[in-house]
Amino acid sequence: MAKLDSKIPSGPLADKWRKHKTEIKLVNPANKRKYEIIVVGAGLAGASAAATLAELGYKVKSFVFHDSPRRAHSIAAQGGINAAKNYQNDGDSVYRLFYDTIKGGDYRAREANVHRLAEVSVNIIDQCVAQGVPFAREYGGLLANRSFGGAQVSRTFYARGQTGQQLLLGAYSALSRMVGQGAVELFTNEEMTDLVVVNGQAKGIITRNLVTGELRRWAADAVILATGGYGNVFNLSTYARGSNVTAIWRAYKRGACFGNPCYTQIHPTCIPVTGDYQSKLTLMSESLRNDGRIWVPKRKEDCRKDPASIAEEDRDYYLERMYPSFGNLAPRDIASRAAKRVCDEGRGIGETGLGVYLDFSDAINRLGEPAVRERYGNLFDIYHEITNENAYKTPMRIYPAVHYTMGGLWVDYNLMSNVPGLFVLGEANFSDHGANRLGASALMQGLADGYFVVPYTIGDYLAGQKPGSRPSPDAPEFKEAEANVRAMTQRLLSAKGTQPVSHFHKRLGQIMWNYCGMARTKEGLQKALQELPKLREEFWASVKVPGSADTLNQALENAGRVADFIELGELMCLDALTREESCGGHFREEYQYPDGECKRDDEKFGHVAAWEFQGVGQPPLRNVEPLNYEFVKMSVRNYK
């Protein structure tokens, strides 16, 4: 059984991080040059971590499977980044951001981690402004803010509808500077295919060059994974098609516990599915819910009518009706389930009936079209490119879709997994969002982890490692890990099936969405756990992977990723079946209040479920980390 020591500092909540920084071990500046750190992933968390660690003096190797870190999925984030600056003078504070995040996550996150995130948020904005990130500004020159779901203050900083892109350019600039100075070695087109554990500690990785097919061994004193989320287990999602679980899944198979894998975020503001031909879904930023009003017709017979012909009194602005305090800015899980509810009643719009309207007519009448264009113009352009509809003239059509995963590898307060030397940042870990992430908090966590947390905490681990003691890449553990990758590659290429990888990915996505998606039941999850092993067996028997291993082979890349997704799907369904409660994005239909809200069971499930791999063909072990709430009372969320 894994040892789960959260390493949460003692003392008052507001003093924990400051106290911890004064007590953790330090590495002598002269010795930092003797340590090598591997960073896998170069999105916001990975790029900021690599740049900051190199600035401190460590030797850093940065790996990214893209041809440039600028292609990392962080670039797709649109709406903004939260920070408790209180520039609007509307009552915001570090504690309020902390509380909103804990409440938004339905009381399933660690208090200490979340409070640290809220503290560090104020520094992130200053860092990014210094880098030249072009945040929107008010007329007087102060940085502008807008509102996001789950908050009654305006704390979201933004750069039109391309905040993630601008923040990533800032982090990429910092990374490029250190590459130019020789402090970071950047390896593009390299995908991590295994973690190397030596004497119980993470000491390196195996990578496959996606252009040449070459497998290489890399040794280090510590390994950082910042590889994003695993929402593509559902096939159709708002993730980039390359986003995958492979890095953290291979680490899971080497002993790292997987925390709360079933916690999946469904975003309420996505362009609806239109056909089986689609490879991904497109997000319309939550920022649109500041000025857009969400509605469906009150009568089923009006659903196919032109929305302009439906009178105001015949429209149901259901979020404003159901949640008057927060209205259209209700948290994502609540807004998504509300959309599903009205569509299940037969009042959904569009050809499939799985859609609701996001209407800007009120905002345009109130503010004028130029003001709306200034705030959201590029988002309206994206919508027009995809749908060929003008959202200034007719309401957008939206529906919930998979957008983020709150689960990930288990980490302690130092962001180190239960495998010593393996650190996990950003969406790849489980730590800060509980069962539901509030909008604009993903960018905040990624940059907090990379710029301000791991540069402190990794030193605590490295101080206990003798400089220059990292193993040779020729050590037996490295050879075994490389052989493991070669064997899997050969198995995929040797399959004599007839079905392409995409065939199995689509079927996996259908199983996961139907039985472990926005709503879950015991019967559905049990059925999924019967179907997924059959799908796995059929995959290995019937998949066709053309080409060879010693060249560019995207079919081979995708086959390895889908094989991992199928195994992950089983763990997600097992986790969802075992957690007999509803909380945040994990909605079990058997556990709900009469008004349809989540019914938690804090006595039995007020904990983190950290699953431990027990070997191929063996059921995983479910470890538990209790969530001890000292400073906040667990209560039923109320956004009404």
Number of neighbouring beta carbons within 10 Å of residue 137? 10
Q: Are 4 and 257 in contact (CB under 8 A)?
A: yes
What would the 3-class secondary structure string for 471-504 be? CCCCCHHHHHHHHHHHHHHHHHHHCCCCECHHHH
Cβ atoms of 199 and 396 within 8 Å: the answer is: no
Q: From CA 429, how far away is CA 217, in angstroms rounded?
A: 24
332 catalytic per annotation: yes
Q: Can you tell me the distance from the alpha carbon of 288 to that of 268, in angstroms, rounded to the nearest whole number?
A: 11
Cα distances from 350 to residues 8, 276, 296, 525, in angstroms, run 49, 16, 11, 29
Residue carrying structure tokens 């990975």 = 46
- Tracing tokens 């079927």 back to the chain, one arrives at 507
Question: How far is it, in rounded angstroms, from Cα 37 to Cα 202?
Answer: 11
Contact 589, 620 (CB under 8 A): no
List 520's β-bridge partners, or say none.
Answer: 588
Residue that is written with structure tokens 């890399």 in the block: 218
Buried-state track 491-529, b at ≥16 Cβ within 10 A, e below 16? ebbebeeeebbebbbebbbebbbebbbbbbeeebbeebb
Q: Using CA atoms, how far apart are residues 18 and 575, in angstroms rounded to an integer?
A: 35
Classify residue 242 by burial, with Cβ atoms within 10 Å: 0-12, 13-18, 19+: middle
| φ, ψ dihedrals at 303, nearest 5° | -65, -25
Report residue 542 CA to chain centroid gap.
31
Instruction: Give the C-alpha separation, 637 to 640, whole Å.
Output: 9
With left for phi above 0 and alpha for psi between -120 and 50, is residue 577 left, alpha or beta?
Answer: alpha
Please give the backbone phi and psi of residue 305, each rounded to the nearest 5 degrees, phi first. -80, 160
| Given 70, 155, 160, 332, the catalytic residue | 332
CB atoms within 10 A of CB 636: 11
Residue 374 belongs to what H/E stretch? Answer: helix 369-387
Angle at 262 between CA 260 and CA 264, to 5 degrees: 110
Both tokens of 523, joined, read 């019967």
DSSP 228: -
Nearest to 45 by CA among 151, 120, 101, 134: 120
Per DSSP, the three-state class of 356 is: strand
Strand ranges in 23-145 using DSSP code E only, listed in sequence order: 36-40, 59-64, 81-82
The three-class DSSP label of residue 333 is helix
Stated as kind and residue range, the H or E segment containing 296 is strand 293-297
**Enzyme catalytic residues:** 332
